[in-house]
A and B are shown apart, each in its own frame.
Chain A
Amino acid sequence: MSRKPYLRKMPKSWWLAQRRYTSYMAREMSCVFIGAYSVLIVLGLYRLSQGRAEYGAFLDALQSPPSLVFHAAALVFALIHTVSWFSLAPKAMPLQIGEKKLSGGPVVLAHYAVWVVVSAGVLLVARI
């Protein structure tokens, strides 16, 4: 008897089928906002290079309602990205002492600690 295997196509809405897929896509989407924010910072540097008045205009533009909405969205997606990656970090960095496998807690905590230290460093440099 001849075979006739049937391949079901993956629906385009697969990422809505389950909450975990949707949160994965939110993590993937975060790169759009982080990329756009990086472009904004480069633009700011460019305006700074043009002079004080141009940079002032750039800073004023950042106060506009669309810009504030974009910043809020970028912040939310940056947090989604950071928290989800930090929670996944132990998978890439298994800890074992002797025979015993350790839990991923210390790896996650170390990531948050480095985040705090680096953020504090950036703030310190910004104040100088």
Chain B
Amino acid sequence: MTEPTLQVEILRYRPETDQDPAFQTYTVPYRDDWVVLDALNHIKDNIDRTLSYRWSCHMAVCGSCGMMINGEPKLSCHAFLRDYYPNKIRVEPLNNFPIERDLVTVTDDFMEKLESVKPYVIPKQERAVDEGPHLQTPAQLNTFKQYTMCINCLLCYAACPQYGLTPDFVGPAALALAHRYNLDTRDAGREQRQEIAASNEGVWDCTFVGECSQVCPKSVDPAAAIQQTKIASTIDWYKALLNPWGKR
């Protein structure tokens, strides 16, 4: 019996030879427990060693293998061939990012934006080790826990038409992480983050398409974080208007 196969169409771009990216089709064995990443690894190991892509953990934790799969941003380790078989699968690098080579994108823009929102606890006062840990109740933790699940896979940026149309937009993952630290009871850095998060390029460039939350593989729901930041920033604005002498 012949082994069932599946066609995978991959957008290739080799900067040293290609002027523009172009699709190349490969035929891979079909197995119902394979994901798209397995198919890519099969191609790399057996058919074409020049194919470039990022991956690491193969279990939706590292956030490296995000790609456009049939036009949808997905982790390739999370996209089963059986959901597409017997149809051809089209694999492209993540939308809205420059292509470095084949399926590898340039993510520097995101890295700079992530850094700009200071995604770490900024305590009010440094605490000496002998003062013990910062305590937090489970209820306090639950206000932001979902936002800690972000793996920086950038599927949300690839899904966001606002980021595609307005590249200055800080974007979903970075703003969700800013919100995550703002909600943390151990943190006192909100005012510093608001310079970026509450600016035009921050939450106000978001028009609530909501697609970031749809494609998020970790149910982070960045759209929710952004809308909540908009409300909090609006309250800040009214407070400053009504009481210009008060502390913001």
Contacts and interface: CB of A to CB of B under 8 A. Distances in A.
Interface in A6-41: 6-8, 10, 14-15, 17-18, 20-21, 24, 28
B13 A91 contact: no
Contact of B209 (A7, A8, A24): A24
Contacts of A127: none
A101 B71 contact: no
A3 interface: yes
A51 interface: no
B153 interface: no
Interface residues of B, number: 35
Interface stretch (B32-40, B45-53, B57-65, B138-146): B138-146
Contact of B98 (A5, A24, A96, A99): A5
A101 B98 CA distance: 38
Contacts of A21: 161, 209, 211
Interface string A91-110: 11010101111000000000
A3 to B, nearest CB: 7
Contacts, number: 71
Interface residues of A, number: 25
A6 B21 contact: yes
Contact of A17 (B71, B99, B137, B224): B71
Contacts of B214: 20
A100 B207 CA distance: 29
A122 interface: no
Contacts of A52: none
A39 B20 CA distance: 49
B161 A5 contact: no
Contacts of B96: 10
Interface in A63-111: 88, 91-92, 94, 96, 98-101
B228 A6 contact: no
Contact of A91 (B71, B98, B143, B221): B221
B235 interface: no
Interface in B5-30: 13, 15-16, 20-21
B15 to A, nearest CB: 4
Name the residue among B71, B100, B165, B210 with the largest chain A CB count within 10 angstroms.
B210
A3 B21 CA distance: 15
Given A18-B71, A28-B207, A99-B139, A3 B100 contact: yes
Complex A-B, nearest 9 residue pairs according to Cβ-Cβ distance, in ascending order: A5-B98, A4-B15, A92-B227, A91-B224, A10-B164, A7-B98, A6-B99, A99-B139, A99-B138
Interface of A: 1, 3-8, 10, 14-15, 17-18, 20-21, 24, 28, 88, 91-92, 94, 96, 98-101
30 contacts: A5-B98, A5-B99, A5-B106, A6-B15, A6-B21, A6-B99, A7-B98, A8-B21, A10-B164, A10-B165, A14-B164, A15-B161, A17-B71, A18-B71, A18-B72, A20-B210, A20-B211, A21-B161, A24-B161, A24-B209, A88-B210, A91-B223, A91-B228, A92-B224, A92-B230, A94-B224, A96-B142, A99-B142, A100-B142, A101-B142
